[in-house]
Structure 1
Amino acid sequence: MTAGSDGPGELLAQAVRLREAGHHDEARAQLLGLRGRFPDDAQVAYQTAWVHDSLGLEAEAVPHYVDALAGTGLSEEDRRGALLGLGSTYRTLGHHAEAVATLSDAVAAFPDDNALKTFLAMALYNVGRAHDGMRLLLTVLAGTSADPDIVGYRGAIEHYAQDLDAVEGAG
């Protein structure tokens, strides 16, 4: 697709290349221009959010993430990335309840994504649900680690992930 009345096309691709090359300020300027021209384009909104996050402008990233997720046209991978970005950004800004809600929805939509689970665990900690966060992290660790020291205790880690307060032989 070419830039013009049909969509952002090559201009969006150029802005993404700028961001990927570390030229965040240039990418931001180009993406903000594209947002003005294509306010309903979910991909433009997502890339604009991403570049704001890359620049440490988290508060400015939020509305772009929200618009991207409210729109249509994101691939599953980009939708996952936008959910992670928004949830993580909420957490960074101290909006912990919003982070938990966003990341919980993301984990429900993408149950095999361990990065989402890890960010959710951090947000759970921030809202005083350390037990739930620890359970989630232990489950991810047990299920993904190839470290022989972890693998050797996988069964125990999985057991305690389900019941951190279990005491064997008590009574």
Structure 2
Amino acid sequence: MDESWDRRIESFWNETDGRDPEGLIARMTNLARERPEGDPGALYELASVHDFLGHENQAIPLYQAALDGGLDGERRPQAVIQLASSLRNVGRATEAVSLLEAFSDDATTGSASQAFLALALFDIGRSREALQVALTALAPTLPLYSRAVTAYAEELEEPGRQALP
């Protein structure tokens, strides 16, 4: 990827406030046109601006095209999570669950995928599993109660099992 282009993309996001939706889409479209047709990074950025503006139906095919086109680096895990979130927001939570269950946490996004997985699981009526996913992701961040929350999360996974005190 062109470092100059990446810097301009970073500047775009740093300056974006969402007050001029048409202007934002136009600016990102112009930036994307600087890249070769079908460039996964450009498709991802276009998807992201649509998503940011609440236009998930326009974002979804762009995210999918970016991923199918070989999107890599730090943008790839973000695209997976953002695609799943958009799918959930348009009522396609089952697809979001499938996408996120196959996704591994990584250094770029941390456990963010687990938060979105929990939301999607809740949306499809799998509340116990949603809570278990959320607690499992949260537990490592708790300095005093990590062990207890982990045990409670495990209990949710196996109904009837007694949690540790």
Tell me if TM exceeds 0.5. yes
Q: Structure 2 vs 1, CA of residues 35 and 125 (structure 1 numbering), >3 Å: closer, same or farther?
A: farther
For the pair 1:48 / 2:42, whether they are aligned, the reply is: no
1:160 to 152, 158, 165: 152
Question: For 1:106, what is the secondary structure of its paired residue?
Answer: coil
Q: With structure 1 as the length reference, what TM-score do the two structures score?
A: 0.76
CA distance in 1, matches of 2:114, 2:70: 24
- Cα deviations by residue, 1:71-115 (Å, 9 ceiling, x for unpaired): 12421x2101000100011111111111111112223x6498311
Q: With structure 2 as the length reference, what TM-score do the two structures score?
A: 0.79
Q: Structure 2 vs 1, CA of residues 138 and 37 (structure 1 numbering), >3 Å: closer, same or farther?
A: closer
Q: Structure 2 vs 1, CA of residues 62 and 132 (structure 1 numbering), >3 Å: closer, same or farther?
A: same
Cross-structure match for 1:19: 13
Q: Structure 2 vs 1, CA of residues 101 and 167 (structure 1 numbering), >3 Å: closer, same or farther?
A: closer
Cross-structure match for 2:123: 126
CA distance in 1, matches of 2:5, 2:147: 51
Q: Structure 2 vs 1, CA of residues 135 and 62 (structure 1 numbering), >3 Å: closer, same or farther?
A: same
Question: For 1:66, what is the secondary structure of its paired residue?
Answer: helix
Cross-structure match for 1:62: 60
Which consecutive unaligned segments of at least 5 residues does structure 2 have? Answer: none
Count of aligned residue pairs for this structure pair: 155
Question: For 2:115, what is the secondary structure of its paired residue?
Answer: helix
Q: Is the 8 A contact 1:65 1:82 kept in 2?
A: yes
Instruction: Give how far 1:45 is off.
Output: 0.4
Instruction: Give how far 1:42 is off.
Output: 0.2
For the pair 1:93 / 2:87, whether they are aligned, the reply is: no
Higher Rg: 1
2:28 to 31, 48, 53: 31
Which consecutive unaligned segments of at least 5 residues does structure 1 have? Answer: 3-8
Fraction of identical pairs, as percent: 31
